Amino acid sequence: MKINFRQAEFVVGAASLAQVPDDGLPHVAFAGRSNVGKSSLLGALTGTKRLVKTSATPGKTRELNFFRVGGALHLVDFPGFGYAKFSKEERARISKLIGDYAAKCDRLRGIVYLVDLRTEGTALDLQNVVALGESGVPMLIVGTKGDKLGAEARAKAIEAIRGKFELEDDPMWVSSRTGEGVEELREAIGGALDEA
Ligand code: GTP
Ligand code: MG
């Protein structure tokens, strides 16, 4: 499916499952630790940076933010996992909201799980990927902030992530700053929706 990602509009910030839009369109969600670059990547994919809240301070995204793209699907910006400055209760609320949505919403067709290349994937990432995997929703692991590493360090990080998450192929990587990998990810999302 060829999707016009540049035609994007904010729909709703859902703080509960009842607020999740149900207009028949499929959803593709972006998950990962706080500060990994989820919101920035949505901005890069849609070419509309002002649409998506990003921040130098983590913890910007508190709800499931839905963006209707190309009249064809919703991209969902998740709050980050594990932001240390949130209270224990707030972290638990966010984990439950994401877990319930992934388990129960049958419009959710794919999860893009972002891993900061520089960390090579943390124990929390592995735990999140296992937990989200239980929903049975297909998942794509993508490395972020590729511009922060040289080619050699990047190749090493990609190999480490492939090993840690037991992937069959090298994970894709992106840079929201330079735009590298962004068109490839658009194509992967379009292709995944064709199969779903
Ligand atoms: P939460 O909403 O707290 O979960 O964070 P997030 O995952 O949405 O991260 P966000 O997109 O807000 O980015 C966090 C910080 O990383 C910001 O300062 C961004 O400018 C920076 N950042 C995001 N993507 C990139 C990238 O590709 N390259 C570089 N150099 N910085 C990036
Ligand atoms: Mg965010």
- Please work out whether the CB of residue 46 comes within 6 Å of at least one atom of ligand 1: no
pLDDT (tens digit per residue) in 96-113: 999 999 999 999 999 999
Give, in order, the Cα–Cα distances in Å from 100 to each of 33, 104, 106, 188. Answer: 18, 6, 11, 25
Distance 82 CA to ligand 2 centre (A): 13
Placement of tokens 């301070």 in the chain: 57
pLDDT over 80 (residue 61): no
pLDDT bracket for residue 55 (50, 70, 90): low
- Please work out whether the CB of residue 13 comes within 6 Å of at least one atom of ligand 1: no
- Please work out whether the CB of residue 147 comes within 6 Å of at least one atom of ligand 1: yes
pLDDT over 80 (residue 133): yes
pLDDT bracket for residue 82 (50, 70, 90): confident
Classify residue 6 by burial, with Cβ atoms within 10 Å: 0-12, 13-18, 19+: exposed
pLDDT over 90 (residue 125): yes
- Please work out whether the CB of residue 65 comes within 6 Å of at least one atom of ligand 1: no
- Please work out whether the CB of residue 60 comes within 6 Å of at least one atom of ligand 1: yes
Q: What is the pLDDT of residue 83?
A: 77
Distance 12 CA to ligand 1 centre (A): 21
Following DSSP, what letter does each residue of 119-142 receive, concatenated?
GT--HHHHHHHHHHHTTT--EEEE
Q: How far apart are CA 55 and CA 16, in angstroms?
A: 23
More confident residue, 82 or 53: 82
H/E stretch holding 95 reads helix 88-104
Q: What is the pLDDT of residue 59?
A: 66
Distance 107 CA to ligand 2 centre (A): 22
CA nearest neighbour of 138 among 97, 192, 80: 192
Q: What is the pLDDT of residue 124?
A: 93
